Chains A and B, each alone.
Chain A
Amino acid sequence: MDQFLPILLMVVLASAFAIGSFIASKMLGPRSHLHAAKVGPYESGIAPRRELAARFPVRFYLVAMIFVIFDIEVVFLYPFAVMFRQLSTFGLVEMASFAAVVFIAFAYLVSEGALDWGPGKRLGSRAGAPVTRSLNATVRRVARPGTPPSARPPVLVEGASTGSGAGARGLDPVRAGASGPHGEEG
């Protein structure tokens, strides 16, 4: 039981700190009558009816994943560094192969464009998505579930309608896109 006493003490201290902070901020903080319209992001006097979903690029997940991968590698490097002499050659080889595995994963990520942050720079290399933004490109890109790529609504590539031979195509963007490239079939 004795060995668990520090943990118990830690739990008590942590809770005391958390609860104490709340109480202290209530007691010491400036009193104000806060209401929904007051704390809203825009103090227009109109309270928002519901929370809007915040938009942020899905690439953050990718970056987070890359971070985790290398973080884990570093976590394993610490004990290796401490035990370097005892592990000798075996440890070095082991660690090198571990680093090689992580590095290959990194090479794969780079080749997939995980670190290309330019707007739409390499987006289209694989999925066949258009490189430029247009109404069709952003709205119509996602197919309905169960629709094979061939049956998808065609995407419009900006260059096709504004560039050479725009004339007749430009009139009907959707139909014009049908002759444009949509690389999924490739």
Chain B
Amino acid sequence: MSGGTYLVAAGCTINDITGKISGLCTAKGSIHISINYPALVPFFVLGGGALVVLLLSAVLPKRPYRGLWAGLTVAAGVGTVVDGLVQWQQLNGSSVTPVTLGDQLFYDHMGAFFAVLFGVATVAGAAISDGYLEREGLDGPEPYVLMLSCSLGAVLMADAAGFVTLFLGLEILSISLYAMSAYHRWRAASGEAGLKYLILGSLASAIFIYGAALIYGATGSLQYLGVVSFLADNALFQNGVLLGGMVLVIVGLGFKVAAVPFHFWSPDVYQGAPTPFVGYMAAVAKAAGFAGLLRVLMLALPTLESTWRPIIWVLATLSVVFGSILALVQVDLKRMLAYSSISQAGYVLIGLQAGTAQGVRAVAFYLFTYTFMVIGTFAIVGVLQGRGEARNDLSAVRGLASRSPWLAGAMLVLMLGQAGIPLTSGFLGKWVVIEAVLGQGQYELALIGMLGAAVAAFFYLRVALIMFLAPESPGAPAGGAVTLSATGGPGAATAGGGPSDGGPESSEPGDSGWAAGAGRAYSGSDLQAIVTAGLSARDRALALRPPPHTRVRVPAATAAVIAVCVVFTVFAGVSTPVLSWAHAIALPWSA
């Protein structure tokens, strides 16, 4: 001991007088926390972005100029994407232990992958929110601050190395989303959505934290690695507490990803919340919930695999089946997409059920492609619904092919993508999750997944068909004949982009069609019968209302997002770079 400084451990000194700690201290009561700052850059970017927006909104005059807040948010999102890619590059080939910030965060491929995903969702979400909020007279800095903090929570969930950090991320994400759901001030449904989401979401959070507490009680650790090492070293005679904790954690996260039977909030919230936020929420909350679930189940509780796999099996089956079937009878576009996202969550659960590295990579790929599809779809719905979200029913898309061919083409591609039609990323996504589960010999689950996709294809294609209905008055049995492309499938995507030659007002049979090559003619009533199959009489009338007469106005930023989403959906479906990127994820566990 000289000059008041003494050595506590190897490479760690503490000055006796000033209390100053220097060197690498990890032992003997010292409080030095090793921090790998590059791992924290996404948090600095997103959190700093939120603070900058908040501060500027306080010091600048109200409404400085249009697009400032959205632009800043997009910039923060781009920063997150870039940093995620940089992290990925840095992590390539490194084999050091990937934990940082006092063992609270992982710094690994999976975290970098999800950081990119959340960055993309932030960019797209902010870009489509700008036009929407302007139209609704709601623009201000708040939604963007909430969006950035929500993304921060999502990244935290994906990077969490323990239950406390996971819970922290979950709460940051959830609370931001509650406020975003209720943001539409003069729309009562929005407030209702926010309130429902808040109450049910808080309950789910409570269930989650109780589960984490039980797991801590059983294993004595809140860190995933602590739990797994405890379970590896000790055999529990009675693991009831541990199993109870695991089930409650699955329930809490299952709520976030809207897996049946924890899905009840989602249709109401999706229907009521502002449309662009719904797109963002569907992408981010789902991906973050699954990232948390992947880490908890695959990393912390692999020894209980034989227990959680049947649970996930049931959740996956219920989600795929109920999501697809309930979507069939929806006439509200946003509600239908809510059930559709429930069934999509079912496919992700199928990938998780495999419990293998292949399954995890399939899940990552699925979530990444779904991000683009769902945000693009909600961007289009947000544009179509008109001021005040006046038209959310299915008939809002009626005759879109002739009113706005490009938008109809984009919607068609995104619908086909979510239905899982080949040459789209949705097909490849479903392919990889089913392949993963087949690798584990789960033929029943694979079959259920494929049948569910067949059922789901109907309601996606219903939207596509309604777009190609002539936009004249409904119900008339002698309606105009509509020529329907017999080629169908992905080929129709390009046909949908072409302008129609029949005017929207024309009512003579044969004139209102948008002929695309050798098409087969259906009478309007035939097509209407197909389109409205399975709906009640009242819903049928609702689905066949004439579309709004207002011109569809697509803000430039929204158009760009839609275009990118469509291009990505096709690109990731016909080529392999995205798939091979997801397959290159080096997992922090040995599976």
Contacts and interface: CB of A to CB of B under 8 A. Distances in A.
Contacts of B387: 148
Contact of A149 (B30, B59, B186): B186
Interface in B17-54: 18-21, 30-33, 47, 51, 54
Interface string A91-115: 0000000001100110110110000
B551 interface: no
A3 interface: no
Nearest to A184: B137
Contacts of A36: none
A86 B21 contact: yes
Contacts of B21: 86, 88
B553 interface: no
Given A148-B186, A148-B388, A88 B20 contact: yes
A101 B51 contact: yes
A112 to B, nearest CB: 8
Interface in B35-84: 47, 51, 54-55, 57-59, 62-63
Interface residues of B, number: 26
Contacts of A86: 19, 21, 30-31
A31 to B, nearest CB: 45
A104 B55 contact: yes
B58 A147 contact: no
A142 to B, nearest CB: 9
Interface in B372-408: 387-388, 390
Given A143-B186, A146-B187, A146-B188, A85 B18 contact: yes
Contacts of A51: none
B241 interface: no
Given A86-B30, A107-B55, A111-B57, A149 B20 contact: no
B189 interface: yes
Contacts of B390: 148
Interface string A72-101: 000000000001011110100000000011
Given A88-B19, A143-B186, A148-B387, A111 B31 contact: no
A130 B393 CA distance: 36
A87 to B, nearest CB: 6
Interface residues of A, number: 26
Contacts, number: 60
A100 B57 CA distance: 16
A111 to B, nearest CB: 4
Contact of A108 (B32, B33, B57): B57
A111 B59 CA distance: 7
Interface string A142-180: 010111110010000000000000000000000000000
A185 interface: yes
Given A104-B54, A111-B58, A125-B62, A149 B19 contact: no
Contacts of B30: 86
A126 B20 contact: no
A178 to B, nearest CB: 18
B137 A149 contact: yes
Nearest to A85: B19
Contacts of A145: 186-189
Contacts of A149: 137, 186
Contact of A126 (B18, B19, B62, B388): B62
Contacts of B189: 145-146
Contacts of B55: 104, 107-108
A111 B33 CA distance: 37
Interface string B137-179: 1001000000000000000000000000000000000000000
A164 to B, nearest CB: 27
B40 to A, nearest CB: 12
Contacts of A185: 137
Contact of B31 (A87, A101, A152, A184): A87
A95 to B, nearest CB: 14
A37 to B, nearest CB: 39
B51 A107 contact: no
Given A87-B31, A185-B137, A104 B58 contact: yes
A148 B30 CA distance: 60
Contacts of A101: 47, 51
A100 B388 CA distance: 38
A126 B138 CA distance: 10
Nearest to B63: A186
Contacts of A152: 186
A147 B140 CA distance: 20
Contacts of A147: 186, 388
Nearest to A144: B188
Contacts of B62: 125-126
A148 B58 CA distance: 28
Contacts of A85: 18-20
B245 to A, nearest CB: 21
Nearest to A143: B186
Interface core residue of A83, A86, A105, A126 (most chain B CB under 10 Å): A86
B33 to A, nearest CB: 8
A85 B57 CA distance: 37
A69 B113 CA distance: 34
Q: Which of A101, A148, A186 has most B Cβ within 10 Å? A: A148
A169 to B, nearest CB: 26
Contacts of A104: 51, 54-55, 58
A148 B33 CA distance: 53
Contacts of B33: 90
Contacts of B32: 90
A83 B29 CA distance: 12
Given A105-B54, A111-B58, A83 B18 contact: no
Nearest to A126: B62
Interface string B182-195: 00001111000000
Kindly name the residue among A110, A146, A186 whose own CB sees the greatest number of chain B CB atoms within 10 A. Answer: A146
B550 to A, nearest CB: 12
Contacts of B188: 145-146
Nearest to B387: A148
Q: Which 3 A-B pairs have the closest CB atoms?
A: A85-B19, A145-B188, A111-B58
14 contacts: A86-B30, A88-B19, A88-B21, A90-B33, A101-B51, A107-B58, A107-B59, A108-B54, A126-B62, A148-B186, A148-B390, A149-B137, A149-B186, A186-B137
Interface of A: 83, 85-88, 90, 100-101, 104-105, 107-108, 110-111, 125-126, 143, 145-149, 152, 184-186
Given A90-B32, A105-B54, A186-B137, 16 more contacts: A83-B31, A85-B20, A86-B21, A86-B30, A87-B31, A88-B19, A101-B47, A104-B55, A108-B55, A110-B58, A111-B57, A125-B62, A145-B187, A145-B189, A148-B388, A148-B390
